[in-house]
Structure 1
Amino acid sequence: MAIIEIPKRETAPVMPRKTRASFFSFSKTLSAISSLSIPSLPYTPSHTFSETMMEENIENAESMITKWDPSDSSEVNFVSLFKENRKEGKEFIKCVKDLRRAMHFLVSEHSSSEKLVVAHKLMQTAMKRMEEDFYHILSENREQLDPESVSSWSSRVSQSSNSDVDEDVESDHEIWAVGKSISEVERLSMIALSDLKLIADCMISSGYGRECGKIYRLIRRSIVDEGLYSLGIEQYSSSQINRMNSEAFEHHIKNWQNAIQFAIKTLFQGEKFLCDHVFSASETIRESCFTYISKEGATNLFRFPELVAKSKRSPDRIFRLMDLYESISDLWPEIESIFSYESISAIKLQALSSLHKLGDTVQTIISEFETSIQKNSSRTPVPGGGIHPLTNSVMNYMSFLANYSRVLSEVATNLASPAKLPFPESYFDNPNNEDNPTSAVSVRLAWIILVLLCKLDNKAESYNDIALSYLFLANNLQFVVEKVRSTNLKFLLGEDWILKHERKVKLYAANYETNAWSTVFSSLPENLTAVSSPEMVKGCFRQFNSTFEEAYRKQTSWVVTDGKLRDEIKVSIARKLVPAYRVFYETHLATLSEEKNLEVLVRYSPDNLGNYLSDLFHETAASGSSSSSLSSSMSRASRCLP
């Protein structure tokens, strides 16, 4: 059968009753019917069974539609048909469908029938009623149909829906299917949603989908705008962000991170489900409604990270930028799913633009950070060869960067590859090997650490004592290695990197030991047990006392900050010094039995040497007991010497 084209009207829902009369007045006329040629003689049909059924449909529809004529109710006493009696509401929908079938039949078979004029007027009245009920259900159920509530049970509705259920009872079937697992509030929300869908389906199939969509867009847009406002989403400008102090900047970043989680997973996802469900009968209306509701708010939501990325750069802001990047990246599957319509592609483009700007700024800050290390010009030696402030700040920064390895790997497309960075040979084991797990991020972070180590080599030259410069290098490299080992850097640089640099720490420690203690070691004769004259023995003791005291006095202010390294260095010195001195001491002490000032000549027993060494490399060593004892011993010796 041919389907009647019912002319559409232009309306917009307005809340006051005074203006609602004009809002619900129809411009749809009978022009389509009056243009037909109507014979001057009365129509005398020859009734068939189909004609009789169509006439009955019109009569039944007239009875039901007249009963619920919206012109008979006022703003004050208006009662929703579906709220009053849902069963009768469904019967009303059925009558409208039957009326529509009758109109199609008359247009096809008897286009000049006066019954068609009557049916058309009834359809206008019915649609006016449908609009009023649609508006009323949306308005009265704003809280029940808020996106958070919809999101909480939308998945259960989707899982329980049955495509084989008859169209008229489909929504009730869904409510029944999940009824045992939902609250009373959720049940009422789903009933309202079911009624909205019934009305929308009816209006769309009757040619009034545009009017239905206008009402929906007006009310639901305000809900989305209010939701975003309550989340603290504002219209920012670059100048506003640049003027923020660090505290305000942190606050707005954290607020946005919390807001986007709720906005995407609850607000927009709930609205998308609601819109798709209500207007499942028309993809065009579904898209136009959701586009109108979400486009401006979502675009503004995703514009904030781009403005932050374009604001003033500083090394500490990089972590907040990566937080923003991670938030968008984590939600990208939902963003693509929710904003899938071509008409709202601008939202995804804005989100992508923010990702790219954030990524570019992160790369720029890392490059600037590397440059700042290279330009560090401080030449003041760190007292005692301790940890340089640059080492501390760089490694703390690097350890925080390592916590964002996934984000860095996503923005690493423009990071220098291993081949582009001038690493020393074998810095990585086969860095260009395709099977090697070393990533662009790992290489870049390793490169920055290498820049730091090269800068530390330069700073070591500031020390006048070569032994202290090696101790400085050992201290700082040990700090770097331990920072790598104890943070996520270990997963990026790998165990081989750690072992390689640990060997270098040992090499620095060995070089320190050689330069600091070689004169003490050489003060004892090569042949410790060879028979010597008393004078030669006295000379050896005097030389040992002198070199040991000089080395000890110099190193009481030196530090080794890492406890393990400190113990290893002291044990290594003691193993070389104490046993050799013990052999010499026990072999030749009897030779000096007649010496009057023996305690001045032989100042240290083998056991005392170990005690003195144990006090070295602590920051408070200069005030330690052994240091005081050594000073006292040296003072007594000076008084006794001729």
Structure 2
Amino acid sequence: MAAADEKVRLTAQHIVRTLATSKNAADDMIRILSGFDDRFSDLFPSSAASAGAATGDDRSPTSKEESPAIGRDPTKEMSGSPLKSSLTTVQEVNDGDDASEEISAEERHGISEEDSVKLEMAEKLVLMWDSSANSISSLFESSEEAAQYLSAVDDLLSISSDQSLPTSHRVRAESSLQLAMSRLEDEFRNLLSQSTTDNSTPRHSVSLRRMALSDPTPVASDTPESPQGELEHSLSLPISSEVIAPYIVVPDIIFDLKQIALRMIAARYEPELCQAYSDTRREALTDCLVSLGVDKMSIEEVQKIDWPTLDSKMKKWIQALKIVLNGVLIEEKCVCETVFESSENLKDECFAEAAKGCVLQLLNFGDAIAIGKRTAEKLFRIVGMYEALAEVLPELESLFSGHARLFVKEEAEGILSRLGDAVKGTILEFGNLIRGEMSKKPMQYGEIHPLTRYVMNYIRLLADYSSALNSLLADDDAYGSDQGTGASTAEGANLTPLGNCMLTLITYLETNLDVKKKLYEDEALQHIYIMNNLLYIVQKVKDSEMKTLLGDNWVRKRRGLIRQHSTGYLRASWTRVLSFLRDDGLVGSGHSNRNALKEKFKNFNNAFDEIYRVQTNWRVPDPQLREELKISISEKVVQAYRSFYGRSRGQFEGRSASKYIKYAPEDLENHVADLFEGFQGVPGNPRGREAC
């Protein structure tokens, strides 16, 4: 019933404020309401007394402690508003002899009628909104009610700090002020929470700076792929409007937050204010990280995650770090500077308390990765994390001040250093992996070894991080020239730290390939195998930034090695065949000479058929190298056969020639064209490709 009565009283005072445009209108309304219900007499004691005297009514109040209407708007007292007219009317009605005696009594006790009215109105308004009795409705749902309440708090602050007023009045003001601070703290928390109450439909836009976030880890494959798949984060994109915005303070409420903060700071409630802000915003920023894919995890939990899941989390961490530090926390800093404008200490303290947990959650994940197990597949994500943290470190430091800044700076720099160590350690592990790969099964047809593909695609990606890696490897002796790799001092003399690192890793690979070639019994196939792999290495270097890092001399030297192996192939594969085309052992044109020719053609046919049968299975994937080898064979073998064929054909007559001479020079050309295509050829068939 008490709450219902209070609502009735408030309704009455609202009517008075609205209609009190003149003295008569106010008097008439007060008289009518007082006559209707004596409870309204409590609201307007002086006016009701005058009304009672005029009508002979003896129900007018006699206590001077009763207050005027609590529904006034203190912000409009000096603006000529209806409330001012109403108060003027009440004062004029109180101009009687009894009222004069009461005012004089108040003045004798050191407080004016105006201050007394302010105090009692403020007390009643604060009681009406007491948090313990009115915790459901929000004071700031109505701007008018919020303005009245804040004006009442201003009155209480003024009275409680005025040493010229009686102690009893200042104590009363301080008591009400405590209740008001409790209510304002609740309202402050409630307003801050509005940003995260509905994440599905952002109710506001934010001014996040435009950021271009790159996925730093392209997939290593034979097909070059762009490593810079940019993901733009701007106001128009879902990442900002649907994911980020719900966790940023709504611009519309910042003014209300500032008004509350001003009163709480004036009342020396800074600790409670800071606690309210930091508790609410700390939780919101943590939720923001979760929405970006960065969960709160211990180091042990991170190290137990399987690689595909961890890879995804590392990628999201890089993006989240940039979004949070280049956008969300900058917005948060601006909010703190606006809301706590009247207190320099609170600006920094509230931001630090709200943001520190979010920052540490990001840094802790980076630390877990840095001290985790070093495996080759993690390298590019770790480099990406290192680059991202190094990039935002100046911004991170500038956000904080004082002790918080030193703490965050030391933490971030420590983790950055450990990430750098992880990068260097992972590259060393990768080098050990290359040297230790000792598979005993040769590639069946001399093709490019999977290790070569993996290593060269891996090394090619290092060039995309040349700035960071040159800095990290600058003081690392492990990648100086000629560091246990067989790489010549001359080759590495003028290279950058990353260039030396690449040279070292490629030399490891070349050494491993040289060992693996011995798995082939056929010497000619050894040369084909080395040519295929060396050419793949050279092409990967030429088609990427590696050429800039390793230089033209390195490329020319490897091309020279390929030519050497081409010569070695011809010698190992065709020397014996060519021996059957020499004229040694042939004398004149007699019977013995024909027998010798028959033997030579027979041996040549068998040798060529065997080579054709075997080498049509071999594969040379590069079309240019494949064609160069065929041309070399034709120039040496087919031309020699054509000459021998021309000299010997006349020794045979009629059908006997076809019995011993299996191939015409043109047939031999066609058969050479089938070599290194990777299919089973059919000896004697000039269309071996179609026959298989």
Asked whether the two chains share a fold, i.e. TM above 0.5, the reply is yes
Please state how far the C-alpha of 1:610 moved relative to its aligned partner: 0.8
Q: Which amino acid aligns with 2:362?
A: L
Larger mean Cα displacement after TM superposition, 194-203 or 265-274: 265-274
**Superposed CA offset, 1:50-108 (max 9, x none):** xx9x97995786477456434565315755268332894598289559938x95xx6xx
Please state how far the C-alpha of 1:576 moved relative to its aligned partner: 2.8
Answer yes or no: is 1:371 the counterpart of 2:432.
yes
Tell me, in whole angstroms, the C-alpha distance in 1 between the residues paired with 2:269 and 2:459.
Answer: 62
Please state how far the C-alpha of 1:502 moved relative to its aligned partner: 2.1
Answer yes or no: is 1:418 the counterpart of 2:480.
yes
Query: Match for residue 389 of structure 2?
Result: 328
> 2:446–2:532: 8 Å Cα contact kept in structure 1?
yes
Please state how far the C-alpha of 1:406 moved relative to its aligned partner: 4.5
Q: Which amino acid aligns with 1:246?
A: W
Tell me, in whole angstroms, the C-alpha distance in 2 between the residues paired with 1:300 and 1:275.
Answer: 21
Gaps of 5+ in 2: 1-103, 210-240
**1:384 partner SS:** coil
Answer yes or no: is 1:153 the counterpart of 2:215.
no
> 2:303–2:368: 8 Å Cα contact kept in structure 1?
no
Please state how far the C-alpha of 1:250 moved relative to its aligned partner: 3.5
Answer yes or no: is 1:565 the counterpart of 2:622.
no
**Superposed CA offset, 1:507-563 (max 9, x none):** 211221123223434544589xx9964665774574355246415513424332322
Tell me, in whole angstroms, the C-alpha distance in 2 between the residues paired with 1:563 and 1:57.
Answer: 101
Query: Match for residue 512 of structure 1?
Result: 569
> 1:428–1:497: 8 Å Cα contact kept in structure 2?
no
Query: Match for residue 618 of structure 1?
Result: 677
Tell me, in whole angstroms, the C-alpha distance in 1 between the residues paired with 2:247 and 2:368.
Answer: 39
**2:662 partner SS:** coil
Query: Match for residue 300 of structure 1?
Result: 361
Distance of aligned partners of 1:629 and 1:338 in 2 relative to their CA distance in 1, 3 Å threshold: closer
Q: In structure 1, which of residues 132, 135, 144 is the aligned counterpart of residue 183 of structure 2?
A: 132
Tell me, in whole angstroms, the C-alpha distance in 1 between the residues paired with 2:541 and 2:263.
Answer: 67
Tell me, in whole angstroms, the C-alpha distance in 2 between the residues paired with 1:405 and 1:229.
Answer: 32
> 1:61–1:98: 8 Å Cα contact kept in structure 2?
no
Q: In structure 1, which of residues 192, 198, 214 is the aligned counterpart of residue 259 of structure 2?
A: 198
Summarize the alignment of residues 209-358 of structure 1 with structure 2, pairs less than 5 Å apart: 209-231=270-292, 233-343=294-404, 345-358=406-419
Q: Give the paired residue count.
A: 539
**Superposed CA offset, 1:415-459 (max 9, x none):** 334346356676766x444xxxx3211211221111111222233
Q: Which amino acid aligns with 1:369?
A: F
Q: In structure 2, which of residues 645, 656, 665 is the aligned counterpart of residue 585 of structure 1?
A: 645
Distance of aligned partners of 1:130 and 1:240 in 2 relative to their CA distance in 1, 3 Å threshold: closer
Query: Match for residue 40 of structure 1?
Result: none
> 2:397–2:409: 8 Å Cα contact kept in structure 1?
yes
Summarize the alignment of residues 356-435 of structure 1 with structure 2, pairs less than 5 Å apart: 356-415=417-476, 416-419=478-481, 421=483, 431-433=492-494
Distance of aligned partners of 1:363 and 1:425 in 2 relative to their CA distance in 1, 3 Å threshold: closer
Distance of aligned partners of 1:428 and 1:125 in 2 relative to their CA distance in 1, 3 Å threshold: farther
Tell me, in whole angstroms, the C-alpha distance in 1 between the residues paired with 2:484 and 2:172.
Answer: 84
Tell me, in whole angstroms, the C-alpha distance in 2 between the residues paired with 1:606 and 1:188.
Answer: 86
Answer yes or no: is 1:600 the counterpart of 2:659.
yes
**Superposed CA offset, 1:380-409 (max 9, x none):** 443333333433333343344444444433
Please state how far the C-alpha of 1:196 moved relative to its aligned partner: 1.3
Q: In structure 2, which of residues 122, 137, 143 is the aligned counterpart of residue 84 of structure 1?
A: 143
Structure with higher Rg: it is 2
**Superposed CA offset, 1:121-160 (max 9, x none):** 546645753552353143045233789979953569xxxx
Distance of aligned partners of 1:255 and 1:95 in 2 relative to their CA distance in 1, 3 Å threshold: closer
Please state how far the C-alpha of 1:570 moved relative to its aligned partner: 0.6
Distance of aligned partners of 1:426 and 1:367 in 2 relative to their CA distance in 1, 3 Å threshold: closer
Tell me, in whole angstroms, the C-alpha distance in 2 between the residues paired with 1:297 and 1:155.
Answer: 18
Please state how far the C-alpha of 1:488 moved relative to its aligned partner: 5.0
**1:450 partner SS:** helix
> 2:463–2:545: 8 Å Cα contact kept in structure 1?
yes
Q: In structure 1, which of residues 419, 438, 454 is the aligned counterpart of residue 511 of structure 2?
A: 454
Summarize the alignment of residues 430-445 of structure 1 with structure 2, pairs less than 5 Å apart: 431-433=492-494, 438-445=495-502
> Greater RCO between the two (CA within 8 Å, min separation 6)?
1
> 2:481–2:487: 8 Å Cα contact kept in structure 1?
no
Larger mean Cα displacement after TM superposition, 538-547 or 188-197: 538-547
Q: In structure 2, which of residues 537, 541, 563 is the aligned counterpart of residue 484 of structure 1?
A: 541
Tell me, in whole angstroms, the C-alpha distance in 2 between the residues paired with 1:187 and 1:405.
Answer: 36
Please state how far the C-alpha of 1:187 moved relative to its aligned partner: 13
Please state how far the C-alpha of 1:320 moved relative to its aligned partner: 3.7
Q: Which amino acid aligns with 1:581?
A: Y
Query: Match for residue 126 of structure 2?
Result: 69
Distance of aligned partners of 1:458 and 1:239 in 2 relative to their CA distance in 1, 3 Å threshold: same
Tell me, in whole angstroms, the C-alpha distance in 2 between the residues paired with 1:186 and 1:292.
Answer: 16
Please state how far the C-alpha of 1:474 moved relative to its aligned partner: 1.1
Q: In structure 2, which of residues 183, 194, 200 is the aligned counterpart of residue 143 of structure 1?
A: 194
> 2:352–2:404: 8 Å Cα contact kept in structure 1?
yes
Larger mean Cα displacement after TM superposition, 573-582 or 538-547: 538-547
Tell me, in whole angstroms, the C-alpha distance in 2 between the residues paired with 1:510 and 1:306.
Answer: 54
Distance of aligned partners of 1:221 and 1:396 in 2 relative to their CA distance in 1, 3 Å threshold: closer
Please state how far the C-alpha of 1:207 moved relative to its aligned partner: 3.5
> 2:299–2:365: 8 Å Cα contact kept in structure 1?
no
Query: Superposition RMSD on alpha carbons, in Å?
Result: 4.4
Please state how far the C-alpha of 1:367 moved relative to its aligned partner: 1.4
> 2:485–2:508: 8 Å Cα contact kept in structure 1?
no
TM-score (normalised: structure 1): 0.70
Tell me, in whole angstroms, the C-alpha distance in 2 between the residues paired with 1:116 and 1:248.
Answer: 67
> 1:310–1:357: 8 Å Cα contact kept in structure 2?
yes
Distance of aligned partners of 1:573 and 1:58 in 2 relative to their CA distance in 1, 3 Å threshold: farther
> 2:248–2:328: 8 Å Cα contact kept in structure 1?
no
> 1:484–1:490: 8 Å Cα contact kept in structure 2?
yes
Tell me, in whole angstroms, the C-alpha distance in 1 between the residues paired with 2:148 and 2:496.
Answer: 64
Distance of aligned partners of 1:309 and 1:87 in 2 relative to their CA distance in 1, 3 Å threshold: closer
Query: Match for residue 576 of structure 1?
Result: 636
Tell me, in whole angstroms, the C-alpha distance in 1 between the residues paired with 2:197 and 2:415.
Answer: 29
Please state how far the C-alpha of 1:504 moved relative to its aligned partner: 1.7
Tell me, in whole angstroms, the C-alpha distance in 1 between the residues paired with 2:594 and 2:114.
Answer: 132
> 2:341–2:347: 8 Å Cα contact kept in structure 1?
yes
Tell me, in whole angstroms, the C-alpha distance in 1 between the residues paired with 2:248 and 2:676.
Answer: 73
